Amino acid sequence: MTKVTASIAVNALVDIDPYLAPHVEELVYRRKLADDWLSKFDKDEGGILKFADSYKSMGLHIQSDNSIKYKEYAPNAVAACVIGDFNNWEHDKHVMEKQDFGFFEITIPPNADGSPAIPHNSRVKVFFTLPNGEKIARIPPYITRATQPPKEYKNPTFEARFWNPPVKYQFKNKRPALPTSLKIYEAHVGISTPEPRVGTYKEFTKNLLPIIKDLGYNTVQLMSIMEHAYYASFGYQITSFYATSSRFGTPEDLMELIDTAHGLGLRVLLDVVHSHASKNVEDGLNMFDGTDYCYFHSGGKGTHDQWDSRLFNYGSYETLRFLLSNLKYYLEEFKFDGFRFDGVTSMLYIHHGIGEGFSGDYNEYLSPFAPVDKEALTYLMLANDLCSTYSQGENFEITTIAEDVSGYPTLCRPRLEGGVGFDYRLAMSLPDMWIKLLKHEKDENWNMTKICYTLSNRRYKEKCVAYAESHDQALVGDKTLAFWLMDAEMYTNMSLLTPLTPVIDRGIQLHKMIRLITQVLGGEAYLNFEGNEFGHPEWLDFPRQGNDESYWYARRQFNLIKDDMLRYKLLYQFDKAMNTTEGRYTWLNCDPAYVSLKHEGDKMIVLERNNKLFIFNFHPTNSYTDYRIGVEKAGAYRIILNSDRAEFGGHDRIDEQKSEFFTTAFSWNNRSNYIQVYIPSRVALILALEEEIKENN
């Protein structure tokens, strides 16, 4: 594409946001950096999809005659061989041939009986000789299975396994179509059991998927899937990128989980960590070929000081091969439906966001001299190119989500326009707002205007995933919404056999309202971390030295929602009703809401979205009779969701059967009509036009 044509395409961004006009030339330039790589892949590899097929040739692969072909990239090594259980770890039996451009290859013939020379699930390593004569053994980067040795072993490092199961998993279900609105259930397989231990893929499939479906979520986001040697890293210190976590079961168990989810109509996203890698040497990528720059930047540029991890060199051909192939591997072999990219802010900037604030001045992002890591930006563009190209070929839509706190403009605009190509970004300011409010202010002092501003403050035509809390707020050292609201009494007064105290009553009502207004006003998709929907009573803390390797807090107590004598089930039922009501009537993934009222004295917020009317009374004590509410569309309105229902832990102060509201053609709060409603204290209502209700019944 010529520069002129590219400029015309980028002008579509300017039509949306005129403040981008001074930066068109830089946007065109940044787009060209990625387009040049695409041209190179087209010329040298047969396209980006073929390039990303490299995982099928790199690493160890069984051939049709049961020979095993192994290809590795280690440019610093002068010699290499394959060692393992199959050859008694001897260094002279299976010597690899050095090829051009730093590659080594070997084809290991089958045994005399025709069986593969390396048995399934046996241990393997690659053994290098370095220029100075040093010998090092490493786990192959493209290995698809890595396991922790028994505890009695003196060396606790993970071991590479040649994975060649006799029976390959056969997927039974098609990927579900992209839902109208994404409602995401963020989950960690290992903690998804009430017992203090590591849960499994099979247990998650059996026990959690039905709960997620019942709650009305349509997308599962799985954390900690890529193999990580340190469990307490929450899966963010990856050691083997192509190996799925062996703690939870086999790769086939994960395939079954995803396949079962698809059968339930649930899409599955992978929390992918391409922003950094573990510093581990013996069971990680670090110092793989004896240098610190095989896949990473060398020296200080290749180290993230706060995360104590290694940083990829996104300008390297082989690093791009490794990472782009990694994405296609999970799309093709496991049938994931998309990715949530971790640490995008760290990737985007040379300073990695450390100690830096973002004022919103476009020059901070788009000036030619802005501290943007353009190689990392290019990689993110290419990653989205890969997903969109693969999506077209497979005739299904892949979802990509960016974890970015900086507000980088054009992050969620199409590549054709000069954007980075993500579908969504996480609305990371929202949980911060709620935590600050709960921590520092009484709710009678909450500022309705500021709440609405924060919830609705996002870039026009760039979609956001709204959430009131994610896994970050569940970690030890922080508190979940439920804990901030009720921790003083959660262990004593959540039983229905005890009187409803003011603390618990306040907590239950505000928990529902906070989650609902966040979903309604905060974005085009919604996310919840497992257990938060029912106000999980404890934080999350993985076994580590600081807690004597305890699993007590590395679990989610789903047993609590099954106890009819506990109030947790009431919050569960509201979350279910919130999601299922959205599924029927739709307000997510629509044009942004119009907020018609933010009344500080009454503590009232009123808004409309997709012809639904949302009324929030945050006042702790004041209920209002015949409260006048402006609404644009004339007609008769009825309640479709009421947080005050007893089944949700409310007080049943509204007779919904008699609650029908007819508009009066008189302008109110900049709306063409008004209705009058009874709205009790700490209650949220959703109203819809009667004809829409009839259509949905």
Q: Which two tokens stand for residue 576?
A: 């279910």
Q: Are strands 525-529 and 183-188 parallel, antiparallel or unpaired?
A: parallel
Quickly list H helices, 267-407. Answer: 317-333, 344-348, 363-366, 374-394
Which amino acid is present at 297? H
217/184 Cα distance (integer angstroms): 6
The alpha-carbon radius of gyration of the chain (Å, integer) is 27
283 and 139 in contact (C-beta within 8 Å)?
A: yes
Distance between CA atoms of residues 290 and 75, nearest Å: 10
Confirm if 222 and 268 have CB atoms less than 8 A apart.
Answer: yes
- 574 in Cβ contact with 686 (< 8 Å): no
Closest to 566 in 3D by CA, of 653, 662, 498, 646? 498
Give the integer Cα–Cα distance in Å for 605 and 615.
6
678 contact partners, CB below 8 Å, separation of at least 6: 623, 624, 625, 626, 627, 653, 654, 659
Structure tokens at 340: 């949530």
Distance of CA 565 to the CA centre of its chain: 34
Q: In this structure, which amino acid lies at residue 198?
A: V
Beta bridge partners of 124: 84
What are the strands, taking DSSP E only, across 163-301? 183-188, 219-223, 226-227, 240-244, 267-272
Phi, psi of 221 (to 5 degrees): -110, 110
Extract the tokens encoding 624: 């209002």
The position carrying tokens 């893929």 is: 201
Amino acid at 331: L
Are the CB atoms for 379 and 320 separated by under 8 Å? yes
Encoded tokens for 263: 């059968």
Alpha-carbon distances, residue 602 vs 446, 617, 625, 626 (angstroms): 11, 8, 12, 13
Residues annotated catalytic, as ranges = 342, 403
Dihedral, 164, 167, 169, 172 alpha carbons, nearest 10: 160
Instruction: Count how many Cα atoms sit within 13 Å of the Cα of residue 599 in the half-sphere of its side chain.
Output: 20
Q: Which helix (DSSP H) or strand (DSSP E) does residue 613 occupy?
A: strand 612-617
Cross-strand pairs, 83: 125
Q: Alpha-carbon distance 181 to 159, whole Å?
A: 41
Q: Which two tokens stand for residue 409?
A: 């403009």
Nearest to 185 by CA among 154, 211, 148: 211
State how far the Cα of 225 lies from the Cα of 235, in Å rounded to an integer: 7
Q: Are strands 464-466 and 303-304 parallel, antiparallel or unpaired?
A: unpaired
* SS3 per-residue string spanning 231-293: HHHCCCCCCEEEEECHHHCCHHHHHHHHHHHHHCCCEEEEEECCCCECCCCCCCCCCCCCCCC
Task: Show the beta-strand stretches assigned E in 219-273.
Answer: 219-223, 226-227, 240-244, 267-272
CB 609 within 8 Å of CB 585? no
Q: Where are the alpha helices (DSSP H) in 111-235?
A: 201-203, 209-215
